[in-house]
Structure 1
């Protein structure tokens, strides 16, 4: 699966990242989305020299879904402010083990072990963790698993995976955070993205469901129904998680 360009103008580019592709390059040297977009713009618009593409937010390698990139430094700065101010909407669906509450908020403190490339939950008093908050609503339960819609308030690396696992609901297929059944990818998808256009200030909303295969088949009818009826995930629910 190749990246899919959903929208582009002179200021931004919105793309569907396939699972198992890096958002940006790392020491592995594997293909990454940032370099892909630079090459795409260079060829399409016959740009000489280096091409600017600004990274606004990231997505873990095994995860697929929607990302926005900036095409100018001004757009990058304004989108970065939306991320900092927590006004950009990043919404995901996942399938987790167990039966989580019908609606819940997780507030934890995350610490990344760089040698293990793994994030763990730590008590707030240690002062080495970064605050992570997500809001969620369970869409459907099937046996001992559930389809959950999640809205990120913060955007930490491995946040959804670490928080869900640390609170007793590991994602299907996620070997790193508690599922022992290897699936080739994990049951997590960036399904909806909303932000203000950095130049026009128009509200931009994008929705893209995962492919009808693998983990998602049993929940496909529910996923299809989300586009026109996205569940409003309120931040007012009582916190569940470590403070």
Structure 2
């Protein structure tokens, strides 16, 4: 169970001069009620406070909601997409238990420079945490290794890049980044895992597209979908994504 830690209301932390995030916090809201609130996190924004004192979604979201927020899950700072917070420790605990039970459904969209050899596959690797806030794929015999599994599907291509849909089976640190790097299809901008150059804003082209969970009070299934980032490289795939089956 996720520890019931939250953030108490205070003025939002200003972004540094080098940081610019599109729109206002209210524009990022995907869902809210008296139990939960979800945002479409901009790439480059931390989810929770860090040692650098960076702008973070937990603090900005609490100031917007005028309510304590409790983290349920995380996204890496360079990644965009759905992030869900509890407004009560009980809501945080309920959804956190669903993550642990693997009844949460999460879909990611990934832009890569090299199209994978197979258009659809299940990837299984063994991953351990490495130096420099990273993970590495290692041999199964490594005692520190944890099994990592994901499923991907090729969706289409733009002039230069390729779009994949990814569903996680396990949830390891930097799992998608490390596994795609291991098959020679690193995420666009992800120099840490093998892409040839970074994006100017230090983001990577991975987007947490959908998140489905059972509501902690009603029990009904809630499916959230985060609109694509506004950058041209993402907007080039709009027609392809619009043709995906509608989420219930």
TM range (shorter): 0.7 to 0.9
Residue pair 2:42, 2:229 contacting (<8 A) in 1 also: no
Residues 1:194 and 2:220 aligned together: no
1:10 corresponding residue in structure 2 = 34
1:1-243 equivalences in 2 (<5 Å) = 1=22, 2-3=24-25, 4-42=28-66, 51=68, 53-100=69-116, 101-113=118-130, 115-142=131-158, 145-183=161-199, 184=201, 185-226=203-244, 228=246
List, as ranges, runs of 4+ consecutive aligned residues in structure 1 with deviation greater than 6 Å: none
Q: What secondary structure does 2:236 align onto?
A: helix
Task: List per-residue Cα deviations over 1:66-107 (Å, max 9, x = no partner).
Answer: 111111111111111110011111111011122211111112
Aligned to 1:240: none
Q: Distance in 1 between matches of 2:41 and 2:196?
A: 25
For residue 209 of structure 1, give the secondary structure of its aligned residue in structure 2: coil
1:217 to 1:193, Cα distance in 2 relative to 1, 3 A = same
Aligned pairs, how many?
Answer: 221
SS of 2:244's partner is: coil
Displacement after TM superposition at 1:229 (Å): 7.0
CA shift for structure 1 position 176: 1.5
TM-score with structure 2 length normalisation? 0.83
Once the two structures are superposed, residues 96-146 of structure 1 have per-residue CA deviations (whole angstroms, 9 ceiling, x without a partner) of 122211111112222122x41111111121120222211111111456742
SS in 1 for 2:237: helix
- Give the superposition deviation at 1:212: 4.2
